[in-house]
Amino acid sequence: MNTEISLRDYYEEFIEEIQMTEIVWGLQNADGWAVCESNDFDGQETIPFWSSEKRAKLLCVEEWQDYQPAPIAFDDFIDAWLHGMHEDGVLAGINWNSELVGPEIEPVMLIEDLLAEE
What DSSP designation does 50 have? B
Give the pLDDT of the chain (118 residues) as one tens digit per residue.
344 557 788 899 999 999 999 999 999 999 999 999 998 888 899 999 999 999 999 999 998 999 999 999 999 999 999 999 999 999 999 999 888 888 999 999 999 999 986 5
For residue 114, the one-letter residue type is: L
Number of domains, the chain: 1
Q: C-alpha angle with apex 83: 34 to 113, nearest 5 degrees?
A: 95
pTM of the predicted structure, to 2 decimals? 0.91
> Which pLDDT value is given to residue 117?
61
Q: Is residue 57 classed as helix, strand or coil in its secondary structure?
A: helix
Parent domain of 50: 2-115
CA distance 25 to 18: 9
Is the CB of residue 39 less than 8 Å from the CB of residue 104? yes
The domain that holds 23 is classified in CATH as 3.40.1350.90
> Which pLDDT value is given to residue 101?
85
